[in-house]
Amino acid sequence: MNHARWKLSQDRRIAEGSVEPPEVVAEREQIRLALDLGQLVYDRRTALGLTQTALGERLSMTAGEVEAIELGGLLPLTADLLVRLSTALDVTVDLRVVSDGHHMVMFEERAA
């Protein structure tokens, strides 16, 4: 399956003046943010040498729930989850919510 066609189709519709409803744009941004967070969790977990099971124990979650986070499939993102991830992964979580909808989430390793 060629996902690039989907992107081209979306670009064509936008060029033709099609505008997505605000709720669709917001949902798309939430999905992007969840995928970004998932990559950060995966990168930090592997850097620490933790398995999904070990991280799950730190988070009081199952390995399957950790996998869901890493795959960007855990929505909505909650403050509770970010606090728990910060503790379990020994990082500072920086969530930037901006008015234009291009939110960002970043991890910063805590200084020793």
Nearest Cα neighbor of 108 from 48, 33, 44, 38 is 44
Mean pLDDT of the chain: 85
Please state, in angstroms and rounded to a whole number, the distance separating the CA atoms of residues 39 and 45.
Answer: 10
Q: Up-side HSE of residue 19: CA atoms within 13 Å toward CB?
A: 2
pLDDT at 4 exceeding the cut of 60: no
CB 75 within 8 A of CB 30: yes
Domain extent listing, the chain? 20-109
**pTM of this prediction?**
0.76
pLDDT tens digits, one per residue of 65-107 = 999 999 988 777 788 999 999 999 999 998 887 777 677 888 8
CATH number of the domain located at residue range(s) 20-109 in this protein: 1.10.260.40
The predicted structure's pLDDT at residue 1: 46
Q: What is the mean pLDDT of residues 29-38?
A: 88
Q: What is the mean pLDDT of residues 16-27?
A: 79
